[in-house]
Amino acid sequence: MSIVEPIRLLDEFRQRRRELLRMIGPGVIVTIAAFAVAFYFVEPPPPQTVVIATGGTGGRYHAFAEKYATAFARHGVTLELRETAGSVENFDLLLHDDTVSLAIVQGGTAPPDARTAGSIEAIASLYFEPLWVFHRADLPIETLGDLKGRRIALGATSSGSSLLATQLLAMNGIHDGRDGTEFLNQNGLQAASSLDDDQIDVAMFVVGPESPVLRQLLGNSKLVLMDFARQQAYARRLPFLKAVVLEEGVVDFENNLPRKRVRLIAPAANLVTTSAMHDAFVPLLLEVALEQHRDGGLLADDGELPSQDYVSFPVNSAARSFLAHGPSFFQRHLSFWVASMIDRTKILIIPLLTLLIPLFKIAPPVYRWRIRSRIYRWYDVLRGIDQKLREEQNADPEEHAARLQAMSNELNTVHVPLSYMEEFYNLRLHIDLVNAELEKQTRLRDSTKSSDATTPDCE
């Protein structure tokens, strides 16, 4: 094969490429412009650092936050733990500190402005923490209403325990300073010591059933754990509470703690966030939450938690989707950052398909129109030359010959698809036809001039 053939094929390829670019180029430009405009509205990428309010060191909130931090670190994100005094301070940080966008809080402890602000969302309820009411065994206490006139330890100042206990006592008409009732702010350890020394009559606090202080109190024969006979009524009135049952011996089989079946009410620990937190972090948080709390512990059924129930705020849309359907395809098979980018740019698929689908549909007709319009343009020139040749019999044909030659030269350099070769060859035949007519008139003109030159003058 000679070197001419590869050169010819390369030239044809370049011509086809130019035709393709001319055909779809404007559509591609419009699509890119639409893509750029849509990208402007895409959520920004996740930050490298997130701050979570956790409660005090050694508490369950702080312990679980450390597990979240480990999961974040595997994906190159820093989860910074902010130690606090408890749920009340956590809410205060969420509302007034722009650097804190995540917190673990006790259900039912949100201040009124947290609900009206509209900036806080729930990710999930994680686990249940019962309200324990211990009292001296010599006191005739059956319900919370029997605590009137007693010395009551409610938990640390501004803690979730204190808020819940105060709310429940108020529902039973019990208030600090009335009818001889005295409220004291003591944490679990302090309250256990005060009960043992008869310095207080009752201790109310919220803590998980695995807490060492709980074992200490359950094993103290001088104390009694109050049974919530009206647990269902409290759960109906306060949706963030669940009526739970602590079975006999479930805390300590060896020592049979508790010594009988006890009915309790339990708020759920909630994972909450502000609207400032990037939704890409929600699957990471829920993956750890599922790993840690799926079994339900001593107070919930297997798979009951994490849940959208027992929360005090609207559930985050990304959390609702994850809890209902699990991680997305991209989150299961791609890295965190790649999956995040794809999830953020899904909005671009709509305008992209909106433009590309019509573009591909109209591309073939547009291509046919371009080819036919070129052939018709040449036919228009050819028709003009033919009309002038017929109308101006004695006109100088050199100008027309030059135009026909230029048209032939252009045709020699143009690639035409096989499907249009019939029109192409018809054009060539018609060019030859007009060229023959032009040559005929040229010969006629030359013979006329020659005849005029040889004819003698009659005069």
pLDDT at 208: 87
How many CA atoms lie within 13 Å of 106's alpha carbon, on the beta-carbon side?
27
Q: What is the pLDDT of residue 328?
A: 81
In this prediction, residue 262 carries a pLDDT of 96
Place of tokens 């650092």: 49
Question: pLDDT at position 189, please?
Answer: 85
Please give the pLDDT value at position 459. 44
Q: How confident is the model at residue 212 (pLDDT cuts 50, 70, 90)?
A: confident
More confident call, 430 vs 161? 161
d(CA 214, CA 130): 11
List the structure tokens of 214.
């709980």
Q: What is the DSSP string of 114-170?
A: HHHH--EEEEEEEEE-PEEEEEETTS---SGGGGTTSEEE--STT-HHHHHHHHHHH
pLDDT at 393: 58
* Banded model confidence at residue 272, pLDDT cuts 50, 70, 90: very high
**Which pLDDT score, from 0 to 100, does residue 383 have?**
80
Least confident of 2-11, 84-93, 289-298: 2-11
Q: How far is CA 341 from CA 37, 243, 374, in A?
A: 17, 42, 45
What is the per-residue pLDDT across 103-160, written as a single tens digit (0 to 9) for each? 999 998 998 888 777 789 999 999 999 999 999 999 999 999 999 999 999 988 878 8
**pLDDT at site 329:** 78
Domain ranges in the chain are 4-18+360-452
This model's pTM is above 0.85: no
SS3 (DSSP) at 413: coil
Question: How many helices (H) does the chain have, and how many strands (E)?
Answer: 15, 11
Return the percentage of the chain with pLDDT > 70, whole number.
Answer: 80
- What number is the average pLDDT over the span 375-379? 77
Q: Is the pLDDT reported for residue 394 higher than 60?
A: no
| Cα distances (Å, whole numbers) of residue 43 to 31, 98, 102, 272, 383 | 20, 18, 19, 20, 60
